[in-house]
Structure 1
Amino acid sequence: MKKLIAASAIALLIAGHAAASSINIAHSAAAPLALKVDGQAVLPQVPPFHSNGILYVPALALKEFYPIQLQWNNVLKQLTLTTGWDTKVLTPGSSSIQVRYTQTDGSYQDSLEATVILKAGHVYIPADSLNSLTGATTELESGGTRVVITPGSLSTTVRVPAEPLVVAGGHAKVKLYAALKDGNTYKGFILEVNGKKHSFDWTVDRDFSNPPQLFYADVDSDGKPEVTVVFTLGTGTSLVVQEVHVVKPEQWKELSVPAAEQAASAVVSSSISLDKKDVLLKLELKGATPSKVTIRIPDRAEDGLKYFGKTAGIGAVTYYSVKDGKLLADTSLMVGMTESMGTLKLEYKAGTAGLELGSIIFEPHDSTQQFVEK
Structure 2
Amino acid sequence: MKKILTASALALLIAGCAAAPTIDSISAAAPLTLSVDGQPVLPKLHPFHSGEILYVPARVLLEYYPVELKWDNTRKKLTLTDNSSRTILSPGRSAMQVQYTQTDGGYEDSLEGPVLLKEGHVYISAGAVSSLTGAEAKLTASGSAVSITSGDVSTSVRVPAEPLAVAAGTSGKVKLYAARKDGSTYKGFILEVNGRKHSFKWEAPRLGSYPPVLYYADVDNDGKPEATVVFSLGTGTGISLEGVHVVKPEEWKELAVPAAEKVASAAVTSKILLDNGDVVVRLELAGPAPSKVTLRLPGRAGDGGLNHFGTQVGIGAVTHYQVANGKLKAETSVNAGIEESMGTLMLDYKAGSGGLNLDSIRFEPYDTTKQYVEKEQ
Identify unmatched segments of 5+ residues in structure 1: 1-28
Q: Distance in 2 between matches of 1:283 and 1:142?
A: 58
Correspondence list, 1:76-155, <5 A: 76-141=75-140, 144-155=143-154
Q: Secondary structure at the match of 1:301?
A: coil
- The Cα offsets for residues 304-359 of structure 1, whole Å up to 9 and x where unpaired, read as 22222221111111111111111111111111221112211110001121100001
Aligned residues: 346
Shift of 1:143: 5.1
TM-score (norm 2): 0.85
Q: Distance in 2 between matches of 1:360 and 1:190?
A: 33
1:370 aligns with 2:376: no
Shift of 1:120: 3.0
Q: Secondary structure at the match of 1:264?
A: helix
Aligned to 1:9: none
Aligned to 1:203: 203
Shift of 1:167: 1.6
C-alpha spacing 1:140/1:371, structure 2 compared with 1 (3 Å): closer
Moved over 6 A (4+): none
Q: Secondary structure at the match of 1:76?
A: coil
Q: Secondary structure at the match of 2:280?
A: strand
Shift of 1:126: 2.6
Aligned to 2:38: 39
Identify unmatched segments of 5+ residues in structure 2: 1-27
Aligned to 2:326: 325
Aligned to 1:253: 253
Shift of 1:103: 3.1
1:355 aligns with 2:350: no
Q: Distance in 2 between matches of 1:187 and 1:119?
A: 36
C-alpha spacing 1:283/1:70, structure 2 compared with 1 (3 Å): same
Q: Distance in 2 between matches of 1:96 and 1:270?
A: 63
Aligned to 2:182: 182
C-alpha spacing 1:295/1:43, structure 2 compared with 1 (3 Å): same
Q: Distance in 2 between matches of 1:193 and 1:120?
A: 45
Letter in 2 for 1:133: L
Letter in 2 for 1:247: V
Aligned to 1:310: 311
Letter in 2 for 1:37: V
Q: Secondary structure at the match of 1:266?
A: helix
Q: Secondary structure at the match of 2:132?
A: helix
Aligned to 1:229: 229
- Which of structures 1 and 2 has the bigger CA Rg? 1
Shift of 1:266: 1.2
Aligned to 2:66: 67
Q: Secondary structure at the match of 2:91?
A: coil
Aligned to 1:263: 263
Shift of 1:30: 7.0
Shift of 1:125: 2.1
Shift of 1:207: 1.6
Shift of 1:105: 3.4
Shift of 1:67: 1.2
Q: Distance in 1 between matches of 2:238 and 2:141?
A: 46
RMSD in angstroms over aligned alpha carbons? 2.0
